Each structure stands twice: as C-alpha cells, then as structure tokens.
Copies of this chain bind each other. A is one copy, B any other.
Amino acid sequence: MAKRAGIIGGAGYTGGEAIRLLLNHPDVELAFVHSRSNAGNPLHAVHADLLGDTDLLFTSEIDNSVDVIFLCLGHGEAKKFLETTDIADSVHIIDLSQDFRLGESVKGREFVYGLPEANRDAIKKAHNVANPGCFATAIQLGLLPLAKAGLLNEVHTTGVTGSTGAGQSLSATSHFTWRANNISTYKVLTHQHLKEIRRTLQGLQPAYSGALNFVPVRGDFPRGIWITSYLNCDLSLEEAYELYTSFYEGHPFTHVSKKQIDLKQVVNTNKVLIQLEKVEGKLVIHSIEDNLVKGASGQAVQNMNLVLGLEETAGLKLKSIVF
C-alpha cells in the first residue's frame, strides 16, 4: 500500500520541488500541500508548470494520518511550526531548514542529519531527519572520503550557486537586469553552512581542526552548485580515486568521474559528480549538484525513502536537463 506524504510550506521553491518529485513517486501519494496564504488555490496557481499534472489544491488543514511530513519553511520557521502545531507522534518529519542540523530537538523530537552518504544506517532507523544545506551537501560529499581516512587539513573551497539558492523573494540581487551576466560573492569565509559541514567531518575525523575557507559566489544561472576544494594531500591521484570510488560504492547518487565534469551534467537530477585532480602536493576535488534536488528536495525524498523503508532511488531517477 502506498505511503502518504504531506508538505508544509508548499509555495516556495523547495516546496515546489518536493511536490514535483512526490507527484511522480511510484510508492508515495501526495496527500496534502499546506500553505496558509494559498489555501483553496490549485497548486498550479503558484507552480505554473504543474498545469495539466494535478488538480490538487493547497490546504490550510494538516492531515495527521500521513506517514511523513516535509517541512519546507524558512530558517527558524520550522522550529516555530513544530512548537506551535500538533503533529501526531507517528508522523515522520523531514525538515529542510537549518533548524535541526546541529543536534537541536523540539518537544522530544530528535533529528538525524540526513546526508545518506555519511549516515545512511542512522537515517534508516531515524524518526525525523534534518535535511542538509545545499552548499553543505556538495562540499561534504567532496570531503567525506578524506575525513574518513583521517586526511583532512586546512581546506580551501570555492562554490558557485544558482539563483534558486536565494529563494523566490524579490531583492536587488535577484533582479534579472542586475544578475544576468553578473558575478558577486557573499558571506565570504563566514557562510552558515560551515557549522554543519564541520560537524559531519569531525564525526569522521575527530581530530580535524583545520580551517574551512569557503568563498560563496553568486552565479548568473538558476540551478546548480559547483564546488572546488583543495588541500595538501600526500595521496597520488590514483590512490585518491581509489579512496573516493570505494567510499561511494553502493551509494546510488554519488559518482566519481575520471573526465572533466561540468555543472549541467547534474542539473535537474539527484546526482552528485566528483572529479579529482592532483597538482604537486595538492589534491583538488570538484563536486557538483542541483541545489534544489540533491541540495534540497531530492535529498529529502531520498531520506524519506530510507526512513520509510522504500528503495533509496524510488522517484528519483530523473531526466537530466543537460542543455
């Protein structure tokens, strides 16, 4: 019998992606999409691409008989929502905000950090999952094998993100005329995702205390995150490839490429591709994802699959946009 899922905060970008994925999920039925401001309107009134795909309406009611609820709310809003709303204990929560990524709990609910490549067994047993940040996912997947091997030291990381990472609010830096053909940076060396990254890495390499230097760049494209990290490393390129390939063996969405990668290989998919280079004493790791899929709602569905005992890849074999 199909599992049933609900979405809270279904009018935003991650909510919309969760809807798109669940509508086509073979084993899960989208039971409701909650949005106070849009209650009564069809989903396609907000997500215009859904016209012809579903006639479901947004609702202001919460159905506590579902198996799982996705929280697609702003940072700080998820915790507030759980504090003030009655959700049946039996319902699994997958939270896409940053509210529970560092071990926080609410009303006795505890959350497992939902990076399957680091934590799959724990996620399978978890009742609730804190879905990782978009940058955090791509950066961590580039570094996990090194951390497990105890090889991390000071890391230098550049990340270029698409505009969807900033959500749908209107702002000077989201104006088309400004952003088209433009590049800028923000939160240089201070991005909030550094905390959850360090937490995972130290879980694997407890002695790791090197700096994580991260330069986030606003790209002039809508979707995707490109990460390049480098650090001092004695491994040869072949050894490094061996380390990464064996680490990700059995993980269906993370693949190591021996050829040069480019961002559009993964856009609109749940995949992460990793490519390595060795230049003198430094190992360079490139890792790429779609920030809204593997970096948000796709990974949330992957976590749901694990939590509910479904096939990990169910509903996530997505056609790449490529071009």
A residues neighboring B (CB under 8 Å): 13, 16, 20-21, 24, 45, 47-53, 156, 158, 160, 162-164, 168, 170-172, 174-186, 188-190, 213, 215, 217, 219-224, 226, 228, 230, 252-253, 255, 257, 259-269, 271, 273, 277, 279-280, 282, 284, 286, 288, 292, 317-323
Contacts and interface: CB of A to CB of B under 8 A. Distances in A.
Contacts of A45: 259
B180 A219 contact: no
Nearest to A252: B52
Contacts of A252: 52
Given A48-B261, A188-B228, A168 B175 contact: yes
B49 A322 contact: yes
Given A175-B175, A178-B264, A181-B267, 11 more contacts: A49-B269, A51-B257, A170-B175, A174-B176, A180-B220, A181-B224, A182-B262, A182-B263, A185-B226, A185-B228, A215-B228
Q: Within the oligomer, what is the number of copies of this chain? A: 4
Nearest to A48: B265
A128 to B, nearest CB: 26
Q: Which of A171, A220, A255, A292 is the most central at the interface, judged by chain B CB atoms within 10 Å of its CB?
A: A220
Contacts of A279: 188-190
B292 A323 contact: yes
A142 to B, nearest CB: 13
A214 B21 CA distance: 38
A260 B184 contact: yes
B221 A183 contact: yes
B189 A160 contact: no
B319 A21 contact: yes
Nearest to A288: B183
A258 to B, nearest CB: 10
4 A-B pairs with least C-beta separation: A52-B255, A170-B170, A181-B221, A49-B320
A153 to B, nearest CB: 13
A261 to B, nearest CB: 7
Nearest to A160: B183
A215 B277 CA distance: 12
Contacts of A183: 160, 219, 221, 224, 226, 262-263, 288
A245 to B, nearest CB: 12
Contacts of A182: 221, 262-264
Nearest to A179: B176
B180 A282 contact: no
Contacts of A273: 51-52
A282 B177 CA distance: 33
Contacts of A172: 170
A53 to B, nearest CB: 8
A13 to B, nearest CB: 7
Contact of A181 (B222, B265, B266, B317): B222
Nearest to A264: B182
Given A279-B190, A320-B20, A261 B184 contact: yes
Given A21-B319, A189-B279, A217 B226 contact: yes
